[in-house]
Chain A
Amino acid sequence: MPIALPLLAALIWSLLPLLWQLLTSLRTPEALVLQGPAAWLQGWTLANYRQVLQGDPPFWRYLFNSCLVGAASTGLTLLLAIPAAYGLQRQRPALRGGISLLLLAAAMFPYVLLFLALLELARALGWGNQLLALALPYAGLSLPLAVLLLRAAFADLPAELEDAARLEGLNLWQRLHRVLLPLLAPAVASTAILVFLFSWNEYPIALTWISRNDMLTLPVAMARIAGSSVYAVPYGAFAAATVLGGLPLLALVLVFQRQIVSGLTQGAVKG
């Protein structure tokens, strides 16, 4: 199997940091610095997980917060991006090209430059420490890319399909709901995952908008664990939090694996 070797190398290359993280999360602080083969026999512990899960508030609270914000951001983004993408695809080519270019520029813009302005906005509107309010900037920042991805997916559908549905008397909503969206499920799923991932990982806005301990999202909460002591870095607890924080994503990707892959390769092959 000559192909398997480079494949294995690639796998190790990309999985090694994750494995290291997993190992770190299961060891005592002393065991981390032990050397030699004997080190593998001692120092295993679940104390890091216990510490993280029994904190105040418990770690699952942050998981829940992040899931809530992620779901709200994803839902809001799709709700706006699907009709926008459909409308964009129906425009004259010149207008469509111009708008797509603007969307691309917006998608490329480094959003970190915006967080101070967004903070002012949140303060003025009283959106600080409102968990769901986070979904608004997240959806706003995700929309350009989501619209571009979904527009390309709409463009890949044969135009005659929608014509046929129009002749049969389906109105716009029925055409989207009964004909177009079922066919776009892979593209919608991969777009949803991208938006969810952005929301899951987002740091600066979450850091500045939320200060109440029980409302933090995962990235901010994890940063607090890392910075909880001036004198020591709690590698073990930090790693345990990372592992726990990665689990929901892993589950999500496993469930939607088929859709994501077929969404990524959409348009590559006819049929």
Chain B
Amino acid sequence: MTTAGLHCEQLSRRVGDRLLLDGLNLSVAPGESLALLGPSGCGKTTTLRLLAGLDPVSGGRIRLDGQDVTHSPAGERQVAMVFQSYALYPHLSVLANLELGLEVRRVPAPERRQRIAEVLALLQLEGLERRRPAQLSGGQRQRVALARALLRQPRLMLLDEPMSNLDAQLRDQLRPELRALLHRAGHPVIHVTHDQQEAMGLADRIAVLESGVLQQVGTPQELYHRPANLFVARFLGRPGINLLAGEAGVQLGIRPEQLRLVESGGLPARLLRREWQGSQQLLWLDTSRGELLLLAEASLSPGEQLQVSWRPEDELRFSSASGERLA
């Protein structure tokens, strides 16, 4: 087992009698980017705060580059975090925001200036040094927060919903930039999101959490095509996966884009309604095995009788009892 990067074992957090995080095992290699994905309250922000040292750990271990930091104070872990609100110091200029951390860590003034100049150039923030956070746009604030985190020279970079305060257009533009920047910086990156698009766009691997329990870790493709259980299958993919009853005790899942309209020999279906989505139409079909969603290019009108079919190998089979995927 390699020691570089982040390893957590059986990481748990309990508040009173509520278990917020239950035995999380997770490793992130240097240069790798992992997204923690899940609905709100699933434990993803809890995980981030434990890793940062902002909340005490109730059980398990955290190791960073081979060193046990489970109980180290936040300021001594060399972990940087970009907060959802960015948490820039509102009374300080951009320059002072970046300098404060270096100053209290007793970095000599010439080195401070040089490192700040480098990171300002990297993030294209030159010329904004004298501004207060309130005088910056959302995208600029995000970059200042990122600059402050990079100046920490972290062994682990944490991002809490880094895109959620930006508008959709800016998000699409910044996602690849952020991804490239984090890759180049070369530390392990964990970012928390409830947005699967953001997770897929920013991360090499995704960890899906639900009710404090890790459901599955893997590449976006693995999670999409071979989900470990019904929760992951339903959580990933827009439009959502079709679920229909299989043989006894089995539930079938088929992605909408894997359903096909056929002339004959398929499952009879009636078109309930449709939604135009640009290149394709999203169709709601009523069949004897339940309601199905399907993406098609054909132009159809509601009430039409159709037949729908799929390849047996595209079926995902889940146990109805446990929700686990069956081989």
Contacts and interface: CB of A to CB of B under 8 A. Distances in A.
Contacts of A160: 83-85, 87
A166 B53 CA distance: 9
B78 to A, nearest CB: 9
Nearest to A271: B134
B80 A183 contact: no
Nearest to B77: A167
Given A166-B54, A168-B101, A158 B75 contact: no
Contact of B83 (A164, A170, A178): A164
Contacts of B89: 161, 164-165, 179
Given A169-B75, A170-B104, 5 more contacts: A160-B83, A163-B81, A164-B87, A164-B89, A167-B74
Interface residues of B, number: 23
A182 interface: yes
Interface string B202-221: 00000000000000000000
B271 interface: no
B152 interface: yes
B91 interface: yes
A182 B104 CA distance: 17
A92 to B, nearest CB: 10
A211 interface: no
Nearest to A179: B89
A228 interface: no
A168 B100 contact: yes
A174 interface: yes
Contacts of A163: 52, 54, 74, 81, 83, 87
Interface string A134-178: 000000000000000000000000101101111111110010001
B125 to A, nearest CB: 18
A165 B148 CA distance: 11
B184 interface: no
Interface in B195-239: none
9 contacts: A160-B87, A163-B81, A164-B81, A164-B148, A166-B73, A167-B152, A168-B75, A170-B75, A178-B100
Contacts of B148: 164, 168
Contacts of A168: 75, 100-101, 104-105, 148, 152
Main secondary structure of the interface of A (DSSP, over half): helix
Contacts of B73: 166
Interface in A169-203: 169-171, 174, 178-179, 182-183
A168 B148 CA distance: 9
A182 B196 CA distance: 39
Of the four ranges (under 10, 10 to 19, 20 to 34, 35 or more), the interface on chain A belongs to: 10 to 19
B91 A167 contact: no
Interface in B56-86: 73-76, 79-81, 83-85
Given A161-B89, A167-B54, A174 B83 contact: no
Contacts of B54: 163, 166-167
B90 A183 contact: yes
A183 B53 CA distance: 24
Contacts of B105: 168-169
Given A163-B54, A164-B81, A169 B87 contact: no
Contacts of B101: 168-170
A159 B163 CA distance: 20
A161 B87 contact: yes
B191 to A, nearest CB: 15
Interface in B81-112: 81, 83-85, 87, 89-91, 100-101, 104-105
A171 B87 contact: no
Contacts of B81: 163-164, 167
Give 3 closest A-B pairs by Cβ, nearest first.
Answer: A168-B101, A169-B75, A164-B87
A166 B75 CA distance: 5
Contacts of B80: 167
Contact of B104 (A161, A169, A183): A169
B308 to A, nearest CB: 49
A170 B54 CA distance: 13
A75 to B, nearest CB: 23
A166 B73 CA distance: 9
Contacts of A166: 53-54, 73-75
B31 to A, nearest CB: 21
